[in-house]
Amino acid sequence: MVKRFFSAFRAMLKSLLGHTWLLPSPSLSSSVSPPSAFMALFGAQKDKAEMRIHENLDELRTDLADYIAQLSEMSVKERGVFAIALSGGSLIGLMGKLCEAPYNKTVDWAKWYIFWADERVVGKSHADSNYKLAKDGLLSKVPIVPSHVHSINDSVSAEQAASDYEFVIRQLVRTRVINVSEINDCPKFDLILLGMGPDGHVASLFPNHSVLDENNEWVTFLTDSPKPPPERITFTLPVINSASNVAVVVTGGSKSEAVHLALDDVGPACPSLPARMVRPTKGKLVWFLEKAASSKLDSAQFSE
Ligand SMILES: *[C@@H]1O[C@H](CO)[C@@H](O)[C@H](O)[C@H]1NC(C)=O
Ligand SMILES: *[C@@H]1O[C@H](CO)[C@@H](O)[C@H](O)[C@H]1NC(C)=O
Ligand SMILES: *[C@@H]1O[C@H](CO)[C@@H](O)[C@H](O)[C@H]1NC(C)=O
Ligand SMILES: *[C@@H]1O[C@H](CO)[C@@H](O)[C@H](O)[C@H]1NC(C)=O
C-alpha cells in the first residue's frame, strides 16, 4: 500500500502584488519516506506554485485569458508552435474571453496544437465529450487549423483510445511539435490546463484510483470512473508534471475544502489528493482561484 504523506506547501504565505501569492517550495515530510517513484515526482521541488485569487469570475476570466495569450506568444517565439492540453468542466467557459477582442485577433491561432488532458470515451457529438465542449465553446470561434486538433478516436475501446492517443503524441514529440522533457522522455506540453473536482480529482485522476500509480504510460484509461461516464482516458501524472506550465483553475465554494487539502500544509494525515500531486518537476504551476474557492485556505485570513 503506497502512502503519499507529504507535508504541503509551508503554511507561511507571502503576499505579493495584490491578489497574487507565492507559496514557498513544498518539502517532503521527514517522518515518512515516500517510494522512489514519488521522490522522482516530488523530491527536488525547486519551483514555486503561484496562487492567483480573484474577487469574481470576470476578473478570473480576464487574467486566465491574459495568461494563456502570454504563454502562447512566448511559446510561438521560442518554438514556433504552442502545444496546449485542455480539460473539461467549467474550464472552457472560463477561457471564453480568448474568443473576444483583443485576443481573437492578437493570438497566433494557426500555431496552436490542441490536446486533451482527459477525455470521456463517448462519441464526439455526445454531451459528455470534452472535445465537443471545447469545439462549441472555443475552437469553432477562433481560426484554429483543424488538423492541429488532436482528439481521441471515439470509435474504439477506452484501452485502444488511450494507446492510440499516446501513439499520436509520440509522433508529435518526435517532430518536436511537442517538446520533450530533459529528465524523462515525457512530452513537455507548453501548457496543461486542469480543473479540479470537489473530491480533488484532476484530469481523470481520481482519489485512491490505480491510475495515480501509472508511471510508464503517458496516456492511460479507466472503465470505472467514480464520476460518470465510466470510460475515460487521461494523461498520467508523469506527463502532467513534465509540462512547461500547468494551470489549475478552480471556482465555487463547493471546492474550497479540496483547495485547502491540496495547497495548505495539512500535516502527515494529508489524504492522497490527486490535485496535491500536481507538482511540475521543472515547469511552472499556477492556481487560478475564485475567492469562494479559496475561502478555506490557511491564508484566507490575509486576503481580506
Ligand atoms: C473578435 O471578437 C469581437 C467581440 O469581442 C468581435 O466583434 C470581432 O468580430 C471578433 N473578431 C474576429 C476576427 O473574429
Ligand atoms: C479509429 O479507429 C478505427 C478502428 O481501428 C479506424 O478504422 C479509424 O480509422 C480510426 N479513426 C481515426 C480518425 O483514426
Ligand atoms: C525544449 O525542452 C528542453 C528541455 O527538455 C529545453 O532545454 C528547451 O529550451 C526547450 N525548447 C524550446 C524551444 O523551448
Ligand atoms: C481514499 O482512501 C482513504 C484511506 O484509505 C480514505 O480515508 C478516503 O476517504 C478515500 N478517498 C476517497 C475519495 O475515496
Positions in the chain whose pLDDT score sits under 70: 1-48, 269-271, 301-304
Tell how far the Cα of 179 is from the centroid of ligand 3, in angstroms.
Answer: 6
Q: Is 208 in the pocket of ligand 4 (CB under 6 A)?
A: yes
Pick the residue whose CA is nearest to atom 4 on ligand 1. 100
Strands 191-194 and 245-250: parallel
Q: Closest ligand to 180 CA?
A: 3
Question: The whole model's pTM is what?
Answer: 0.86
Cβ atoms 223, 230 nearer than 8 A: yes
pLDDT given for residue 299 in this prediction: 75
pLDDT given for residue 266 in this prediction: 83
Beta partners for 23?
49
Q: Closest ligand to 155 CA?
A: 2
Q: Is 207 in the pocket of ligand 4 (CB under 6 A)?
A: yes
Pick the residue whose CA is nearest to atom 13 on ligand 1. 105
pLDDT given for residue 48 in this prediction: 62
Pocket test for ligand 4, best of 2, 201, 208, 257 (most atoms within 8 A of CB): 208
Residue ranges and CATH numbers for the domains of the chain are: 63-299 (3.40.50.1360)
pLDDT given for residue 130 in this prediction: 98
pLDDT given for residue 267 in this prediction: 77
CA distance 215 to 287: 24
- Dump pLDDT digits (tens) for 218-271: 999 999 999 999 999 999 999 999 999 999 999 999 999 999 999 988 877 666
